[in-house]
Amino acid sequence: MYKIIRAEELTANIFLMEVEAKRVADACKPGQFVIVRKDEDGERIPLTICDYDTEKGTITIVFQIVGAATQMMAELKAGDSFHDFVGPLGCASEFVGEDLESLKKKKMLFVAGGVGTAPVYPQVKWLHEHGIEADVIVGAKTKDLLILEEEMKSVAGNLYITTDDGSYGRSGMVTQTIKELVEEGKKYDVCVAIGPMIMMKFVCLQTKELGIPTIVSLNPIMVDGTGMCGACRVTVGDEVKFACVDGPEFDGHKVNFDEAMKRQQIYKTEEGRAFLKAKEGATHHGGCGHCS
């Protein structure tokens, strides 16, 4: 059992939990995710890690209520426990393995949208701890939906907040702020965009035009997080990839977002899943081996 030592509602329907999981915390790197289950019969939920503390042996997760399983998770309080807390899973962010001196010369821009702010935080924090100050744009629909502002402020080189309705910070979507920063003369060597699929798609269209290589995290299309369900199948360049085993981070300029979003819709029904299985054959799953 994995004890929750802190449980907070950050804003409407978005919850933060700090969980005792020493072995996960010891091995964790930015960009990775965990799979949690509230109880023995619970749904498996893949969540990108928001923070980790190797001294305390804890992992922090942030999640939004999107269905029955996350609703039940949101009811847990400090002192309660998760039945399963598996990880760290997936590949770490690529920059973690880069030569630190070359990395220090790069100008990095992070673009976080809504709940996607949570997985951006450990990446920016890791860079800050290694002497690299990145620019960060955080976008939310309104001021009330903004999360982790203070945490992000403490690790970002420059933090730009933007709200769609202009209720706080700059006005407009994250792409508007990217445009403004570039017009103000900012130059970036790499962009990391994490948020809703539609946001990542439009950030990638924009950064492609601007010539800024861009990494995205495809956590939103995962279901079981183990390569078995086939939900996170995505075309990257001319290759079929699975977000949970090959990612979750990919070259955003190569991701076929339209296909991934359409497939995500089809996957929701039993009939849709049967259709995808028939159409995709042996490439339907991410490595279970049952198809071939």
- Write out the residues near ligand NAD by the rule CB under 6 A: 48, 113-116, 119, 139-141, 164, 173-175, 194-196, 198-199, 202, 217, 219-220
Binders in 194-233 for ligand FES, by CB under 6 A: 222-225, 227-232
Q: How far is CA 30 from CA 64, 184, 229, 243, in A?
A: 20, 30, 25, 16
Alpha-helical (H) ranges within 100-196 are 100-104, 117-129, 149-153, 174-183
For residue 36, state whether it binds ligand FES (rule: CB under 6 A).
Answer: no
Considering beta carbons, is residue 116 or 169 the nearer one to ligand FES?
Answer: 116
Sheet holding 81-82, edge to edge: 81-82, 2-11, 14-20, 58-64, 45-53, 33-37, 84-89
Q: Which helix (H) or strand (E) element contains residue 273? A: helix 270-280
Partner interacting with residue 124 (select from ligand NAD, ligand FES, none; CB below 5-8 Å by kind): none
Provide the pairing of β-strand 58-64 with 2-11: unpaired
SS3 category, 177: helix
C-beta closer to ligand FES: residue 207 or 217? 217
Tell me which residue has tokens 């800050």: 128
Residue sitting closest to ligand NAD (CB): 114
Residue recorded with tokens 């700059």: 170
Nearer to ligand FES, 61 or 232 (CB): 232
Partner from ligand FES, ligand NAD, none contacting 222, C-beta within 5 to 8 A by type: ligand FES
Task: Out of 119, 169, 248, 286, point to the residue binding ligand FES (CB under 6 A).
Answer: 286
260 token code pair: 């991934």
Q: Give how many residues touch ligand FES by CB under 6 A.
A: 14
CB of 111 to ligand FES, least distance (A): 24
Contact criterion met (CB below 8 Å) for 30 and 124: no
Q: Which C-beta is closer to ligand NAD: that of 149 or that of 164?
A: 164
For position 252 contacting ligand FES by CB under 6 A, the verdict is no
The residues of the shown chain that bind ligand FES, judged by CB under 6 A, are 222-225, 227-232, 242-244, 286
